[in-house]
Amino acid sequence: MSEVNSIAVVGAGAMGSGIALTAAMSGLKVWQIDVSQEQLDRANAYHAKTLKRSVDKERISQEDSEAALSRIEHLTDLAGASDADWAVEAATEDAELKKRIFQQMHATFGPQVVLATNTSSISITDIASSLPDGADRVIGMHFFNPVPVMKLVEVITGLQTSEDTAHRTIALAEGMGKTPILANDRAGFVSNRVLMPMINEAFYAWMDGVAEPEAIDGIMKLGCAFPMGPLRLADFIGLDVCHHIMMVLYNELGDQKYFPCPRLRQLVNAGRLGDKTGHGVYEHD
Ligand code: NAD
């Protein structure tokens, strides 16, 4: 493990709660922060349930499970986490919100603390530009969902990110049991630049009557050895998130091929956002 012993995770949604759990399981003291107490309670329940399942499946001992849980502290205010050695932001995908949070993190943590973001698509350089100084310690640390299971961390260096920050981020990701891979700060980075147009095309295939969602997903699963088809994956990620990322690709790269499919836009406008609302391409329990 690197010199990092504790971490502040800002945002306790799908990603923040997963990052917090993974960090705690790797031995770090964790401050899980969210403006919503309800989200913190939900994250706490998710941590307890996931650790219990790991004990039941004999992946970890009861003792290790209790120790990991006891390392996570829940807060609604960033100030309580000011002793953290590292900060990672995993709040809602909104550039202005992230910039505000980064300004708070900059004011809260000492200059040696790396300020990382789990953004899926927002420019790291742009987020860093909102700070009065210290752009060299801002970096993208893009985990994948579900965080405890997925091995990859896409590490994105902004224009001013220092080599030291990048090296330390790689060391921390490895210490958390992940495989970091570097990418540059271009719209969608690598993962979403490649994945999202495929998901968008699956919506076009559905809209154009090429096949129904079950068949599109079945063909892509069996034909490409994907664990789930692109439309099922879109529901899992969140259709609003997919739409937002396509708009970032479209606006940044200026090519019509990135414009979100009307079928995707329609579902988002109807509030059918996927697993999180219970309805999306598919119906969910
Ligand atoms: P989510 O909607 O599940 O959670 C976002 C959380 O941020 C909410 O709990 C919300 O209360 C909290 N929040 C909002 N404002 C805040 C503030 N000022 N301070 C602290 N918390 C605040 O979203 P998510 O899916 O967990 O995504 C979080 C980030 O991770 C986004 O940037 C997203 O693009 C990225 N991401 C998502 C996925 C995915 O599959 N969902 C994968 C990789 C990266």
pLDDT, tens digit, 9 for 90 and up, residues 173-222: 999 999 999 999 999 999 999 999 999 999 999 999 999 999 999 999 99
pLDDT tens, position by position, 229-268: 999 999 999 999 999 999 999 999 999 999 999 999 999 9
**What percent of the chain has pLDDT above 70?**
99
Residue 1 has pLDDT above 80, yes or no: no
Residue 158 has what pLDDT?
Answer: 97
User: How many angstroms does the Cα of residue 28 sit away from the middle of ligand 1?
Assistant: 21
Given a cut of 50, whether residue 2 has pLDDT beyond it is no
CB of 30 sitting under 6 A from ligand 1: no
Pocket test for ligand 1, best of 10, 15, 117 (most atoms within 8 A of CB): 15
Residue 274 above 80 pLDDT? yes
Per-residue pLDDT tens digits for 58-112? 999 999 999 999 999 999 999 999 999 999 999 998 899 999 999 999 999 999 9
The Å distance, Cα 148 to ligand 1 centre, comes to 16
Task: Write out the residue limits of the CATH 1.10.1040.50 domain(s) in the chain.
Answer: 192-275
Indicate if ligand 1 lies below 6 Å from the C-beta of 241.
Answer: yes
Q: Which atom of ligand 1 is nearest to the CA of 245?
A: 34
Which residue has a Cα nearest atom 25 of ligand 1? 14
Sequence-distant (≥ 6) Cβ neighbours of residue 155 within 8 angstroms: 139, 140, 141, 142, 166, 169, 170, 173, 180, 181, 182, 183
* CA atoms of 159 and 140, how far apart (whole Å): 12
Which residue has the CA at smallest separation from atom 17 of ligand 1?
A: 35
Assign domain 192-275 to its CATH architecture. Orthogonal Bundle (1.10)
pLDDT band at 22 (very low <50, low <70, confident <90, very high): very high
Pocket flag, ligand 1, residue 154 (CB < 6 Å): no
CA dist list (Å): 253 to 60, 155, 186, 192, 205 = 46, 21, 9, 13, 23
Question: Is the Cβ–Cβ distance between 230 and 211 less than 8 Å?
Answer: no
Dist CA 124 CA 186 (whole Å): 9
Average pLDDT value over all residues in the chain: 96
Q: What architecture is the 6-184 domain classified under in CATH?
A: 3-Layer(aba) Sandwich (3.40)
Query: What is the CA(27)–ligand 1 centre distance, in A?
Result: 23
DSSP string spanning the chain? --S--EEEEE--SHHHHHHHHHHHHTT-EEEEE-S-HHHHHHHHHHHHHHHHHHHHTTSS-HHHHHHHHHTEEEESSGGGGTT-SEEEE---S-HHHHHHHHHHHHHHS-TTSEEEE--SSS-HHHHHTTSSS-GGGEEEEEE-SSTTT--EEEEEE-TT--HHHHHHHHHHHHHTT-EEEEEESSTTTTHHHHHHHHHHHHHHHHHTTS--HHHHHHHHHHHHT-SS-HHHHHHHH-HHHHHHHHHHHHHHH--GGGSPPHHHHHHHHTT--BGGGTBSSSB--
pLDDT digits (tens, 9 = 90+) for 100-115: 999 999 999 999 999 9
Confirm or reject: Cβ of 117 under 6 Å from ligand 1: no
Residues of the chain with CATH 3.40.50.720: 6-184
For the segment 119-138, the average pLDDT, to the nearest whole number, is: 95
The pLDDT, as a whole number, for residue 3 is 83
* C-beta of 120 in contact with ligand 1 (< 6 A): yes
Q: Is the pLDDT of residue 285 over 90?
A: no
The neighbour count for residue 41, using CB atoms within 10 Å, is 13
